[in-house]
Chain A
Amino acid sequence: MGKIKSAICLIAITLAVAVLCVVCFVPFPTGGGIEYFNPLVNWAEKSADLGGNYFGGSDYNGGSQSVMLYPEGVVSGREYADNMEMLPEDEREDYAKQYVEYAGGALYLDKDVVCDGGANVSEAFKTSFQTRVEILKERFERLHAQDLRLETVDGYSVRVTLPDYMDEAAAAFIYNAYMGNLEVLYGSSLETAERIIPETGRKEKPISEYVTGAETRTIEGTVYVGLNFTKAGNDIISNTTATADTSPSTLFFTVGGDQVIGLSVSSRITDKTLYISGGYTEGAARLIAAVIDTSIEFASDEELGGMEVGAIYQNYANFGDNALTLLYAAFGGLLAASVIYFFIRYRRLGFAHLYSLLIFLLIMVICIWAIPTVSVGMGTIAALALMCVLLSVSNAAVFEGAKKEYALGKTIASSVKAGYKKCFWEIFDLHAAAGIVGLLIYLIALTEFSAFGLVLCLGALFSCISTLAIGRFMWYITMPFAKNAGKFCHFKREEVVEDE
């Protein structure tokens, strides 16, 4: 390539990289300093562990949301105190008599509901609370959320924590607290609707005789919740909705009396699997399906009673407010050290490494920012760091290979060619193995480990391209500017000692 063509290429690439660097890494004030442009690398909102404030913003991003769930008959110490304060003085004594202090005043238990009128928690309540915790565990686990925590607090209340970036977090707290059996009702409103499943009769059949489960499906961008009916269930639905085309009505799916789905029916339903689209996101559909599925799975003759949703909190990042900033500082230092090493060892050839490293980083930042399933946890950062190191090591291996060839007396062009040829398969194999491991982890594993796999896989792919294609191309277009190729790359010929 001639000098002019090389210069044009170099300028174009430099401009593109500079613009992308600004977009990805540099915050700057806009609108006269009132607002700030936040770079793509500001991943605070993608992480429950590493949160923080955006530049120029006061809202906290990232972290997690948590909620306290209380079973029927249990109130928090704070709520008990508030209720006491609000009650007229003459009613306070009766109210106090109704409750038993528990866990040093952290909880107050309703004597009738929880203690069977006595002072100790009844065995029946203990069992029903344990079942409720199991149902909650099952439902929240099915959301596949990173940093999910479910804690039993003070024996008889539950705290659930979900990452703040999860759009359905608040809905999950409310829907998953619905406890009880699944019922299908048909009518114009929930209050007046008639129960059709399970059939009312002398001997009630379990819900699994009518509905086997729920699933989610996405067709052309629309997300559906699918309900699978047995023949008995399908017959009931079909018979009940037979007149729907003349008198439209609504099918209500309730769990423990709380509505989960309301479906307007204007024609007879005959399908064995009923797909319902309510403008659901994928997460919301999965949530509804999990609530329905678990209410079938844990169906029982005993009334469970719901869980009351307490205060919702947005928690700051698990690892502290400065965790992300400190990670950026460490990353910046490492990358600068890598580039400086290359500039010292290979002089201006360091530009080839700089460009390949920058382009790799830009692509990775854009990928992590753009792919919604990639959350930013420790695994993601570790995978990114590993691939940055692999890229630097690969570049160093190639440069060393070329240096050795040059020392033997080859021209710079054939040294480069030989350097890449020598290292190609080794570099390719390293990246391929890392990529395969990453891809399979991404496809099979869940949550943070899956994100680790995806970043590893993408990192391996782009690191390989950056080393073997971009690095070589950068070398190719920078060399025409070198008056002395050996000096440009800090390569030296091997000194030959001639016999006298």
Chain B
Amino acid sequence: MSKLRFGKGLPIYAVISAVVIIAGLILCILLNFNYASAEERTVEVSYDAVITIADKEKELEDLCDAAFKESGADYSDKQTGLELDSQSLGETGVKLIVYRFSAGESENSLKNAAEAIRQRAKSAYPDADVSVGVHLNTQSSFSEALWRGAVALAVAAIVALVYVGIRYGVACALTGLVAVVNDTLFTIGLFAIVRLPVYAYAPLVFAGLAAVLSVMMWIVQCAALKKNSKDPSFGTLSAGDAVTQSCATSFKKVLLLALPIAVAFAVLGIVAAAGTRLFFLSALIPLAVSLYSSLLLAPAVLVPIKARFDRFKATRKRYSGKQKASAEEKAAAEE
């Protein structure tokens, strides 16, 4: 852990963060996140699953798959639904399969596939009522959940760092605040830049994860700093040396906290269905960002803040010392 990394590295980290955050926010405003299905095309196949198709459902699905393959259409997702009676909410026996395609998928190839499914189903199951439709869906976004989530994150981060301030001092709280703000915005920015597909509330959950992990890892750093400061020789060190020394002792601890979390998210991501895989593997991003900020950015931010606080403390000490000395002189003169 060199001094350079914690003290003089600050401009580099600041530039990295600024670039990612600004680029991410601009992209987010212009293009929003890569929501998995903001606009999509669907081919919907409905049929009577009880009477006419009965046990040939798999056959029908294979027929659909073959038709899509032939027309060169590649669906991203398939969802099955059961029609319910709107009064009793009981199942009517009609099943619906929704094949989801990206909005860029050619409308003609989907229409060709739909026509092929229609024709083949008609010849394979003449009595069946198989209906096929091609649709274009545009999803609406809801703002209340997003702005309330953002407010919740801001309030939670401030209150948590007030706690850090009480336990570890104002310098640590201020640095922690910088780290948490950086981590949440950095995470959101990265998701906007790399265009990872996310579902509606995922960016908020990732930002929340980044905030929690950032606070937790920073507390580990702060605890090491506090522990070291109990050593009288630590008081004689400059802010840069003190931060470097305590970061060196807490480096392993931070990694030991981050590593099991990374393993857990990776395992949950690898042994999972497609949707969950995308979420948990993406959750490694907020973890990596928090790790970067607690090991590199936050210590670099802490150095100047601590130096200023140390100077302030020293000035106050000198001032109170002078006052004490003058009071003693005054008392001696009176005697």
Contacts and interface: CB of A to CB of B under 8 A. Distances in A.
A318 B152 contact: no
Nearest to A377: B201
Contacts, number: 235
A214 B80 CA distance: 38
A353 B133 CA distance: 56
Contacts of A309: 86
Interface stretch (A113-121, A233-241, A271-279, A428-436): A428-436
Nearest to A67: B86
Contact of B148 (A77, A319, A446): A446
12 contacts: A105-B133, A159-B137, A313-B81, A313-B96, A316-B79, A322-B273, A333-B271, A382-B209, A396-B256, A426-B223, A436-B159, A447-B201
Nearest to B78: A320
A314 B275 contact: no
A170 B137 contact: no
Contact of A389 (B96, B202, B223, B264): B264
B136 interface: yes
Contacts of B195: none
A440 B98 CA distance: 38
B288 to A, nearest CB: 15
Contact of A378 (B80, B131, B276): B276
A445 B204 contact: yes
A433 B163 contact: yes
B248 interface: no
Interface stretch (B19-27, B210-218, B327-335): B210-218
B273 A449 contact: no
A150 B260 CA distance: 38
Closest 6 A-B residue pairs measured CB to CB? A319-B275, A444-B152, A440-B156, A323-B273, A313-B81, A330-B271
Interface residues of A, number: 86
B219 A433 contact: yes
Interface SS, A side: helix
B272 A437 contact: no
A65 B96 CA distance: 12
Contacts of A445: 145, 148-149, 152-153, 204
A242 interface: no
A437 B160 contact: yes
Contacts of B86: 170, 174, 309, 311-312
A106 B135 contact: yes
Interface in B132-160: 133-140, 142, 144-145, 148-149, 151-153, 155-157, 159-160
A49 B275 contact: yes
A452 B204 CA distance: 10
B268 A381 contact: yes
B29 interface: no
A133 interface: yes
